[in-house]
């Protein structure tokens, strides 16, 4: 039996390979790695012999990746990125407690980050590292301790803890609403009035995006064929909110993320409580296996749960059932 095929590759040649592949230059890679050019060349040759493959096509004045080199780079690059990130974190936070959180950008901007100052006042010895990623991360094999997700109940693991549900409501700048009331702008008291306004729409092509769309809201409020003065398509929820705050558009806002802006008077609901519409998607807290074993992560998760309870209270939502997914 040939065990050589199962022998793991040494990290040194992989580091040299990644540097040459990124710079497409043996000399530039050698300078970056504080090695001689011949040392880098030897590591690349050893790696090619180990793999039994050609990784680079070498010309007189240029270097380019061979097909097998491109394949290897697709794995090595993110692996080294993740390794270097973890090393930096360990070095910079030695002696401090760190919780690594992943969530989507709009939730981080509108809900999580505004609350972190209060958490840090209570826990000055704990650092929170937030990665705003719009793709889901597998928590069983991840450097993240905790995820704050947005999904239907059947799309989350059994260990997920429900934070609060979704509710949508049209919102506008208070100055726009005041002008509509005073007759200085088109009226804004019923769904059909929206034909006179710009509507900020989330540019989301996923199947779940239909639940956040103006088209669904208009259909539920008796104006399925309405066309506004114009559409403003935006990638992220927080961009829609910015458009509404600046008076450029009417946004269909996620109430759990904007109720504080409503309380502060930065936004108003032109249709009042009648304009609010439920949505089947839910906000969840998910702990990773390694996170559940760390007291600081559990402590932060408990604080998130307390903040979620305050959000449920503010939007008038009852506490969650024991297991919503089982229904």
Same-domain pairing of 139 and 246: yes
Same-domain pairing of 84 and 121: no
Q: Where in the sequence is the domain holding 31, given as residue range(s)?
A: 3-92
How much is the pTM?
Answer: 0.69
Q: What is the pLDDT of residues 234-267, one digit of tens each?
A: 988 999 999 999 999 999 999 999 999 999 999 9
Same-domain pairing of 209 and 134: yes
Average pLDDT, the chain: 88
Same-domain pairing of 26 and 109: no
Query: Total domain count for the chain?
Result: 2
Tell me the DSSP string of 2-46: -GGGGSPPPHHHHHHHHHHHHHT-HHHHHHHHT--HHHHHHHHHH
| Rounded CA separation 64/61 (Å) | 10
Higher per-residue confidence, 208 vs 30:
30
Phi and psi (nearest 5°) for 63?
A: -130, 135
Q: How confident is the model at residue 326 (pLDDT cuts 50, 70, 90)?
A: very low
Q: What is the CATH number of the domain that holds 291?
A: 3.40.190.290
Longest dimension (CA), the chain: 86
Query: 135 by DSSP, 3-state: which?
Result: coil
Same-domain pairing of 60 and 140: no
Give the per-residue pLDDT at 89: 65
Q: Any residues with CB less than 8 A from the CB of 11 and at least 6 apart, and which?
A: none
Q: Are 244 and 200 in contact (CB under 8 A)?
A: yes
């Amino acid at each position: 039996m040939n065990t050589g095929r199962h022998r793991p590759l040494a990290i040194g040649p992989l580091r040299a390979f990644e540097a040459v592949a990124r710079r497409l230059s043996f000399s530039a890679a050698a300078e970056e790695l504080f090695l001689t050019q011949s040392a880098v060349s030897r590591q690349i040759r050893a790696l090619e012999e180990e793999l039994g493959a050609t990784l680079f096509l070498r010309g007189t004045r240029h270097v380019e990746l061979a097909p097998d080199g491109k394949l290897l780079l697709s794995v090595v690059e993110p692996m080294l990125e993740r390794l270097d990130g973890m090393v930096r974190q360990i070095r910079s936070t030695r002696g401090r407690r760190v919780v690594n959180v992943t969530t989507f950008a709009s939730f981080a901007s509108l809900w999580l980050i505004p609350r972190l100052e209060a958490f840090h006042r209570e826990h000055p010895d704990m650092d929170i590292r937030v990665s705003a990623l719009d793709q889901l991360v597998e928590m069983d094999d991840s450097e993240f301790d905790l995820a704050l997700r947005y999904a239907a109940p059947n799309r989350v693991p059994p260990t997920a803890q429900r934070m609060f549900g979704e509710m949508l409501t049209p919102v506008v700048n208070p100055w726009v609403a005041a002008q509509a009331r005073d007759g200085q702008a088109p009226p804004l008291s019923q769904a059909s009035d929206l034909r006179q306004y710009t509507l900020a729409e989330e540019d989301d092509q996923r199947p779940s995006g239909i639940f956040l769309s103006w088209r669904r809201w208009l259909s539920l409020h008796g104006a399925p064929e309405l066309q506004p003065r114009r559409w403003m398509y935006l990638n992220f929820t927080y961009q829609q909110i910015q458009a509404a705050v600046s008076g450029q558009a009417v946004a269909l806002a996620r109430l759990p993320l904007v109720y504080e802006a409503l309380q502060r008077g930065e936004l108003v609901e032109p249709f009042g409580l009648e304009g609010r519409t439920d949505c089947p998607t839910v906000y969840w807290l998910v702990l990773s296996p390694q996170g559940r074993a760390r007291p600081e992560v559990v402590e932060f998760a408990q604080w998130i749960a307390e903040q979620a309870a305050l959000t449920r209270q503010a939007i008038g939502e009852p506490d969650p059932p024991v297991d919503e997914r089982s229904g």
